[in-house]
Structure formats: structure tokens, C-alpha cells
Amino acid sequence: MYQSTSYAILIQTKSARFDGMYISSSDPVLSFRNVGDNKVLIVGCDHKTGKEASDDDKYKMLENVAESLYKDAKILFEWQTEDSITLDKIPYIGEFSSLWKNAYVATGFKKWGMSTSNVAANIIVDKIIGKENKYEDLFRATRVDAVKNRHEVKNMLSETGKMLVLDKFKDVDEGVQNIKIGEGKVVRVDGKKVAVYRETKDKFHFVSPYCSHLGCDLTWNNTAKTWDCPCHGSRFDYTGKSIYAPSVKDIET
């Protein structure tokens, strides 16, 4: 699997709202949900975690969408999270391994957690009580068909190889003074690669540019102000604190 990051805002409006939930059919994919009490949830602008992207503020993009629909939109909350995506885009649900009985897994929901978690609960309950479930084979966690998606497999192998090996030799910009306030960048300090975040004119945060999980090169997420790992989805705040698994250790400062 690989990890994908999405962004969300919750707005309040007195304008006429809709019932239900809607999702767009064009990029960037956006979903809209009426959550009651004059509030609307807008989610979207997803991207592969750790993928080097533009410095566009994803929250600002969602705010612009909200304001185009509701002139009185008041932004209440903003947040982001990750989700696991399987290579064939179908969740893994069922026995974790044919060699390990009574251990079950449910993952790779591809951002459809509320509906797919219900499917997973029914399949796993049926497995436990020995009842046949007609959807069991579709979501079988031990299937190998997923790796037939050669495009995604190639992307994952290429990305991991790049971050584990090739980027170790990539030249980087010199000097921390070129970093803008509120921006993070990997630079070379005294001949050594360092990940640097500039909080104010004179306050910098220096951390290792390598993930504490398996050592992949980290990239800067300008919207969330985090250092993200493209290999396995680990994420760290700008002080180096681990905030998303699979990393369990902070990165060195």
C-alpha cells in the first residue's frame, strides 16, 4: 500500500444548504457533506504523502471553494489526515495470513472508511463464526492480484529507490538565509544535508532530513508544516517530533 494525505475544512453558513453527500468527478477531487447545524464539511486536494508538490496552500484552495459557494462562509476548523491505498484500490479485509489463524486485517479503505468499515465488520464477524460471506473473496487480504497493477508497483519501487538511494547524492541549495519565513527546505550546512524550518526571521529549526523509520529522504509539506516520508507515510512536525506511523521515533535535531 501507499499513503495519501487529504485536507478538510468545516464551515458555518446561514445560506441554503443541501442534503446528503456529494463528490466531484474532476481533479482536484472534492467532497461536500451537510453535517447539520448550519455546517458543511469540504474535503479534498489529496496527494501521495511525501510527494514533492507545489507550495500551494491546500487549506486556502478549500477556503476559496467554500467562499465561492457560500458568501458568508465562516471557517471553523481545518485539518488533514492520511489514508492507506492498496495497489488495486480495493481494501484488504479478512485473514491477515493463511499461516496465521485467527488474525484479521481491515485496511486500505481509500478514504471510504465509514462505509467500508461496516463491510469489514460484517466480513470479519462472519469469518469468526464460520459463516460464508459473499463479499469475502472480493476483499480477500491474501490476494496477489493487487501486484498486477504494474503502473503502481513501478511507481512505488521507483519512489522508494529514489528516496533511499538516489536522493542521498542529490545536491541541495546552500544557506539557510534563502529559506522564507514559514517555509521548510533541505539545505547543506557545513557540508551536511539538514532539514530546516524558518519560524521567524531569526528562529530556525534544524532536524535530520532522513526518516527515523527506514531512512528515506523527507520532503516538506508547506500546508501542514510537516516533514513527510514518501516511502511509508511517516510524518514529523517541524521540530522533528513523530506524529504519524510507521515511525515511532522522533528525527534527530
Task: Locate 232 and state its grid cell.
Answer: 511509508
Which pLDDT score, from 0 to 100, does residue 166 have?
53
DSSP letters spanning the chain: -EEEEEEEEEEE--S---SSEEE-SSSSPEEEEEEETTEEEEEEEEEETT-------HHHHHHHHHHHH-TT-EEEEEEEEEEEE-TTS--EEEEEETTEEEEEEEE--TT-HHHHHHHHHHHHHHHHHT---TTTTTTBTT-SGGGG-HHHHHHHHHHHHHHHTGGGG---EE-GGGSPTT-EEEEEETTEEEEEEE-SSS-EEEE-SB-TTT-PBPEEETTTTEEE-TTT--EEETT--EEETT--SPPP-
* Residue scoring higher pLDDT (217 or 54): 217
Pair 79, 116 in one domain: no
Which pLDDT score, from 0 to 100, does residue 11 have?
97
Is residue 74 assigned to a domain?
yes
Task: Locate 235 and state its grid cell.
Answer: 510524518
Q: What global pTM score does this model have?
A: 0.77
The domain boundary, picked from 26, 55, 83, lies at 83
Domain encompassing residue 192: 172-244
Is residue 160 assigned to a domain?
no
Is residue 158 assigned to a domain?
no
Note whether 11 and 76 are within 8 A (CB). yes
* Residue scoring higher pLDDT (171 or 32): 32
Span 240-246, mean pLDDT? 94
Which pLDDT score, from 0 to 100, does residue 220 have?
94
pLDDT at 18 over 90: no
The sign of the CA dihedral 169, 174, 175, 181 is: negative
When mean pLDDT is compared across 41-45, 169-173, 212-216, the lowest value belongs to: 169-173
Pair 176, 236 in one domain: yes
Is residue 252 assigned to a domain?
no
Is residue 163 assigned to a domain?
no
Pair 76, 10 in one domain: yes
Distance of CA 77 to the CA centre of its chain: 18
**pLDDT tens, residue by residue, 91-149:** 999 999 888 889 999 999 988 888 999 999 999 999 999 999 999 999 999 988 655 55
When mean pLDDT is compared across 50-59, 183-192, 214-223, the lowest value belongs to: 50-59
The Cα–Cα gap between 168 and 206 comes to 18
Pair 70, 115 in one domain: no
**Reported confidence tier of residue 176, pLDDT bands at 50, 70, 90:** confident
pLDDT at 171 over 60: no
Is residue 31 assigned to a domain?
yes
When mean pLDDT is compared across 43-57, 60-74, 106-120, the lowest value belongs to: 43-57
When mean pLDDT is compared across 56-65, 103-112, 137-146, 191-200, the lowest value belongs to: 137-146
In this structure, the dihedral spanned by the alpha carbons of residues 70, 26, 43 and 66, taken in order and rounded to 10 degrees, is: -10
Give the type of residue at 73: A
Distance of CA 207 to the CA centre of its chain: 21
Which pLDDT score, from 0 to 100, does residue 4 have?
92
Phi-psi region of 138 (alpha: psi -120 to 50; beta: other; left: phi over 0): alpha
Note whether 217 and 33 are within 8 A (CB). no
Pair 35, 101 in one domain: no
pLDDT at 88 over 60: yes
Into how many domains does the chain fold?
3
Span 158-181, mean pLDDT? 63
What proportion of the chain, given as a percentage, has pLDDT over 70?
A: 87
Is residue 196 assigned to a domain?
yes
| Highest-scoring range by mean pLDDT, 9-13, 56-60, 150-154, 244-248 | 9-13
Pair 73, 7 in one domain: yes
